[in-house]
Every structure is written in structure tokens, then in C-alpha cells.
């Protein structure tokens, strides 16, 4: 398992790379050019600037999260050809910088949806929260104003240029069905995957967050059956997954450990985080510890260990603790604690495996 840490770039992150370097076992940063609008080609000089900065701190930049997919591609509009061409050229440039995995998503309009960025937990920490009834009661623009007004940092998926066109986007998605979205995703994959293969890059789709319809928008990467269908759209190794335990875990019927075992050879990137779900459909993000939420993090790590996972992983969202002022969901402290919890499980599994092997050898003797 190759541990990484998501970092949003100089001037757009409150966490110095010098501090990330002090977290044991972190090999690389997960990054993106967040100021480049979705659909536009990434400049090679900007990509190389990130590579040079990361290298100065001993990190690789093997994983990009995300190269966003333009809405015209998701909608299947005639203009999608231009944006797909830009995407292909961006893949080629990222390959020149040594990138191995591109995380992306195919969620209409919103990359993720929460109703509260700093919901207080019993211990005084705060975390990202989803209130089901509020989503049903609010108009999309009301949520946008409330969420955007609670953060001083640009949030991926909630960039101002995208939010300014929200009304138009919702109008465009009227009548777009899940089957329409499947067809548009397949068209995108058929264009992109051969280019990724030529450049030794793995494409890793992120599940929808949350894994069910929000504001009536179609969502398709939501459960095991749909992931099976997705992988068959273009059934090649470069077409794979960012398996996010938190996104999928927001639906308690999803068995994430089972998915890890089933999709083992197609998981190119692992997001590991915990949520606590409620019967009314609400959920809140928690610490990574298994007993703090409803996602079986211990079972998930055991599944990754059983399949011999050697891919990239990162601690996904964490709480905001110890008074830290940070990007919603992306504080240094709780993600650092999360990494150590994950390594603790992994180290125990490694030791147990070695001890069992030694025991088996001694029995043979």
C-alpha cells in the first residue's frame, strides 16, 4: 500500500508540505490544478511546477485528483468533442510528469453534497454533515449560498465559475435519465481509455457522493451492481476505480469490504474514511476509527491486505480538531491520526501473516 496525502497547492491550502512530511509513511501528494476550469487543457509548465515542488519535499505526484469532466460531456452535447480532446491532451501531459493514476467523477453538477461544513460532534470537534430533510426542503441555490458562505477557501466541485451557471445546468439536466448518463459515460470512456493505456495511466472513477440521487439528479456509481456494469463498459485494466469507503458507506446497504475483494484488480486508488449513518438518511463524517462510525474500517483494511493491495491510498476526509482552521474535511491533524490508525491495522495484519507463515513452516518440519 502506497500512502498519499491530498494537498491543494500553495496559496490554496493551509497545510505546509513540511508538516505533511512529518506524517510517517506518506510517499506522495494527491494534487490537481484547481484553478483550471473543467474541460480546459492543463498547461505542462504548471504541471511541472507542482512536480518540482513535491520533489523538493521528497514526494511523488503519481496521483491526480481530479481532472474534472466538463458538464457537456456528461450531458452528451455536441460540444463534448472539444472537451474530450482537451482531456486527452491533459492525460498526455500528465504522463510526461510521471503521473500514474487520474481520479475523476461523473456526478452531474455537484461533485459532492453536504448541508453543513462544520457540524459539531459530542466531543467538540466538527465535521462535514448531510441532513436528508434539508436537502429535500432546500432549493439548490439556497444550499449553494449557505455552503459557499461558510468557507473562505475554494472547494473542488464548488468552484465559483461552476456555481454561477447552476440554474442553467439544472435546466439542461431536466429529462436526463440514468440511462442517458450511462451512455454518455460509455462514450467518454471509449474515447479516453485508449489514450490512458498508451500513456501508462490508470483512470479511476470516484463513486457518487452521496451514493443516491440529490435534487433529482441522476447518479449511477452508487453500489456493487452499478460498479460491475461500469467496469464492463470498457473492460480493460486502465478503466478502474477510486474506491471510496466514505462515499459508498453513506448507504448502509453497501458492503465495502466485499467490493474490495470483488474488484481487487481494478482498484487503482483507495479513499479510506468513516461516516456515521442514521435511519433518517442523515450521515456525518467521523474519525477513521471503526467504532466511531458505521463503516467497518477494520474489515476494509483486512480486505485490502487479503488482496495484496499495492496501489495508492489516502486517508479521506477527517474531522476538524484541536481548534484547527482548515479546509472543510481536510484538516492536517485528524487525517494524520487517520494515517497512523490505518498503518496500525496494516502493521498488525502484516505481523499476523508472518507469524502464521512461521507457524505453518514449523508444523511442516
- Does the residue 12 lie in any domain? yes
Is residue 149 included in any domain, yes or no?
no
In this prediction, residues 130-136 reach a mean pLDDT of 90
pLDDT at position 163, please? 67
Q: Which residue has the cell 433518517?
A: 280
pTM score, whole prediction: 0.93
Catalytic machinery residues: 206, 244, 271, 316-317, 330
| Residues 63, 32 contacting (CB under 8 angstroms) | no
Is the per-residue pLDDT at 289 higher than 90?
Answer: yes
Task: State mean pLDDT over 184-195.
Answer: 98
Q: Is residue 204 part of a domain?
A: yes
Give the model confidence (pLDDT) of 67-103 as tens digits.
Answer: 999 999 999 999 999 999 999 999 999 999 999 999 9
Total domains in the fold of the chain? 1
Q: Is the pLDDT score of 119 beyond 70?
A: yes
Please report the pLDDT score of residue 226 as a whole number.
98
Question: Is 331 in contact with 319 (CB distance < 8 Å)?
Answer: yes
How far apart, in whole angstroms, are the C-alpha atoms of residue 67 and residue 31?
10
58 lies in some domain: yes
- Give the pLDDT confidence of 304-339 residue by residue, as tens digits: 999 999 999 999 999 999 999 888 999 999 999 999
Structural domain includes residue 123: no
The whole-angstrom separation of Cα 268 and Cα 101 is 7
Residue 301 confidence class, pLDDT cut points 50, 70, 90: very high
pLDDT at residue 11 greater than cutoff 80: no
Cell of 79: 460540444
CA distances from 228 to 186, 262, 321 (A): 13, 9, 38
Kindly report the average pLDDT of the chain as a whole number: 93
Domain that holds residue 58: 2-108+176-275+288-364
Residue 164 is assigned to a structural domain of this protein: no
Q: Which residue, 107, 81, 108, 79, is CA-closest to 168?
A: 108
77: domain CATH number? 3.20.20.150
Of 218, 215, 268, 216, give the one whose Cα is nearest residue 244. Answer: 268
What nine digits make up the cell of 2? 502506497
Render pLDDT for 206-254 as a digit per residue (tens, 0 to 9): 999 999 999 889 999 999 999 999 999 999 999 999 999 999 999 999 9
pLDDT at 303 over 80: yes
| Residue 158 located in a structural domain | no
Please report whether residue 281 resides in a domain. Answer: no
Amino acid at each position: 500500500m502506497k500512502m498519499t496525502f491530498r494537498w491543494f497547492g500553495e496559496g490554496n491550502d493551509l497545510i505546509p508540505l513540511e508538516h505533511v512530511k512529518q506524517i510517517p509513511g506518506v510517499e506522495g501528494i494527491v494534487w490537481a490544478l484547481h484553478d483550471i476550469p473543467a474541460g480546459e487543457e492543463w498547461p505542462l509548465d504548471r504541471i511541472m511546477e507542482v512536480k518540482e515542488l513535491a520533489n523538493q519535499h521528497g514526494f511523488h505526484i503519481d496521483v491526480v485528483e481530479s481532472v474534472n469532466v466538463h458538464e457537456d460531456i456528461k450531458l452528451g452535447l455536441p460540444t463534448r468533442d472539444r472537451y474530450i480532446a482537451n482531456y486527452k491532451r491533459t492525460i498526455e501531459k500528465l504522463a510526461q510528469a510521471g503521473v500514474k493514476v487520474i481520479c475523476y467523477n461523473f456526478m452531474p453538477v455537484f461533485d459532492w453534497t453536504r448541508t453543513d461544513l462544520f457540524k459539531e460532534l459530542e466531543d467538540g470537534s466538527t465535521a462535514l454533515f448531510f441532513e436528508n430533510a434539508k436537502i429535500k426542503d432546500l432549493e439548490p441555490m439556497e444550499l449553494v449560498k449557505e455552503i459557499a458562505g461558510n468557507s473562505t477557501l475554494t472547494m473542488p466541485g464548488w468552484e465559483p465559475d461552476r456555481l454561477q451557471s447552476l440554474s442553467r445546468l439544472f435546466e439542461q439536466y431536466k429529462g436526463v435519465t440514468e440511462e442517458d448518463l450511462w451512455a454518455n459515460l460509455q462514450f467518454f470512456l471509449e474515447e479516453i481509455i485508449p489514450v490512458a493505456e498508451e500513456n501508462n495511466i490508470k483512470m479511476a472513477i470516484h463513486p457518487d457522493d452521496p451514493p443516491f440521487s440529490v435534487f433529482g439528479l441522476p447518479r449511477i456509481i452508487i453500489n456493487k451492481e452499478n460498479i460491475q456494469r461500469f467496469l464492463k463498459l470498457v473492460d480493460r485494466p486502465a478503466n478502474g476505480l477510486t474506491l471510496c469507503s466514505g462515499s459508498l458507506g453513506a448507504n448502509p446497504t453497501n458492503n465495502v469490504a466485499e467490493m474490495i475483494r470483488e474488484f481487487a484488480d481494478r482498484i487503482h486508488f483507495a479513499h479510506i474514511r468513516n461516516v456515521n449513518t442514521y435511519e433518517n438518511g442523515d450521515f456525518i463524517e467521523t474519525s477513521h476509527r471503526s467504532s466511531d462510525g458505521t463503516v467497518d474500517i477494520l474489515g476494509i483494511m483486512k480486505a485490502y491486505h487479503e488482496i495484496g493491495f499495492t496501489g495508492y491510498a489516502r486517508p479521506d476526509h477527517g474531522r476538524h480538531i484541536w481548534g484547527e482552521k482548515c479546509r472543510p474535511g481536510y484538516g492536517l491533524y485528524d487525517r494524520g491520526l487517520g494515517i497512523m490508525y490505518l498503518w496500525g491495522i496494516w502493521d498488525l495484519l502484516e505481523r499476523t501473516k508472518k507469524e502464521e507463515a512461521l507457524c505453518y513452516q514449523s508444523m511442516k518440519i
